[in-house]
Amino acid sequence: RIVNHTAGQSLLEVKLAVQPEPNGAAFSTTSHIHSTRCETKKGGSHFLYDVAGVDGGDNIFTVEHNFPGGIPSPTDANTTRAYLVDYERAASVVVHAPDGSRIACCNLEPHLPNLPESWSATIEANINHEGEGLEAVSYSMLRHEWYDAATNNLRIDEHSSYSKQTRIMNPVHDIYMSMHQNQTHASGYCEGHKISDGHFPMFLRGSGDGMSTTADFLRVTGDTPDVYHGVTEAGVVRGIPCEKWSRNVTIPSFSDPSASISYVYEFYFPISSWMVRRESYHRMLSRIVVRSDSGMRGVPVLHYYDFLDFKPEVDDLSVFNPCEVYNVGSPLAGNCTCGAPGEPAPAPTAWGPSGERDIDVVKAQLQAMTAVVVVLALVIVFGFGSLAFVRLREERSAKPLMTNDNEMSSF
């Protein structure tokens, strides 16, 4: 394993399990970092800190083990170098016998990069479906998500050219809010529910004790160890060379809690040398791929989620306040209250000086206006009916006033 120190040093520690032989002769081994994975040329050549330098000395990593014959001996040793190893070029550790032959090889597999506990991102989802019919249509979708583990809040936005949809969730306060804005509800409509009533469990990636870590939220953790695939041709995301990890994940079925669905999650992170201009967090997640032979609907699943603008923060926690989502200067319809879940807040000042009470007032006014409109409509209908009846009777009873000497006519 390689441990990077803040002082700019790298430590290579090698542990070997040795079975001593009775009356065996003493022997020694040397271990080096190599530049290729074990499955390719058994590790290839030595890793060189200075690729134009010599193949020896401090330019390579060498760890020696000495084993006295016939008796157990320490099996761990280490070497420190006064520079940071570029792990993109450090691929494996090869153990050599005294004659230089290779007797063992171990791939160096870096852990998944750390993820922030507060973030926002624009996500392009590409959903691939097989088969025929409406349910088999493949499509793309843009979403924006905000996640803050400290306040246990999650918000997901989806939009199209004619409507906007927003979901706000908080498992601690058992709150799920579904919102939309369209031509019918120009100021927005919000419906509040309890998560415990079974509303959208697929978005509840936390528990009643709070939201999970970002890694859990993104299904980075699972029921099998990570598999590191390195940088592959398939690991290039939007032109960015990425390292790939995969993990098996089992999720309970929404329709049948006694059943479970198996998925493979793939995670793509930019290689460590790839930079984002003026970045505030190095190596943000680039892509997640979700695969399953039989998903929740019993059909194969192949989803791509590209993180286009992953920021390690939520700039303004008011994004979790439903009254600030579509704030266009008039009250939000529905049964939601202002403020982030568990943190009531007054209505936006643009709604009027009387605060959140204006919502109920406006609702009552709208209901009264609706009633008045209905009454007026009935009056108008009856009025037209009476007028038509009177005109009909008049027309039926009227006598022609036209004569040869008079051009007046009845109306």
- With beta carbons less than 8 A apart as the criterion, state whether 87 and 205 touch: no
C-alpha 36/C-alpha 30 separation (Å) is 17
* Beta carbons within 10 angstroms of residue 275's beta carbon: 10
Q: Can you say whether residue 349 is alpha, beta or left, with left for phi > 0 and alpha for psi between -120 and 50 degrees?
A: alpha
- With beta carbons less than 8 A apart as the criterion, state whether 35 and 63 touch: no
CA atoms in the 13 A half-sphere facing the CB of 153: 23
Provide CB contacts within 8 A for 57, sequence distance 6+: none
- With beta carbons less than 8 A apart as the criterion, state whether 117 and 312 touch: no
Query: What confidence score (pLDDT) does residue 109 get?
Result: 79
DSSP one-letter string for 195-236: GGGTS-GGG--SBTTB---HHHHTT-S-SS--EEEEEEEEEE
Tokens matching residue 200: 């959208």
Query: What confidence score (pLDDT) does residue 235 get?
Result: 74
C-alpha 83/C-alpha 96 separation (Å) is 24
* Beta carbons within 10 angstroms of residue 141's beta carbon: 13
Q: β-pairing, 227-237 with 189-193?
A: unpaired
C-alpha 11/C-alpha 3 separation (Å) is 5
Residue keyed to tokens 């198996």: 262
Strand ranges inside 55-174, DSSP E: 62-67, 76-81, 92-96, 102-107, 118-128, 139-148, 153-159, 164-170
| pLDDT digits 0-9 by tens, 162-199 | 778 999 999 889 999 999 988 888 899 999 998 888 75
Residue keyed to tokens 């299904």: 219
- Indicate if the alpha-carbon torsion angle 146, 149, 150, 154 is positive or negative: positive
Averaged pLDDT in 10-residue chunks for the chain of 411 residues: 54 82 79 91 92 94 84 77 82 92 89 86 88 77 91 88 84 91 89 80 50 76 78 81 88 78 90 78 88 82 90 91 89 92 88 52 47 41 38 38 30 22
- Indicate if the alpha-carbon torsion angle 394, 400, 405, 411 is positive or negative: positive
- Indicate if the alpha-carbon torsion angle 94, 97, 100, 103 is positive or negative: negative
Q: What is the mean pLDDT of the chain?
A: 77
Which helix (H) or strand (E) covers residue 375, if one does? Answer: helix 357-397
Residue keyed to tokens 């000395």: 57
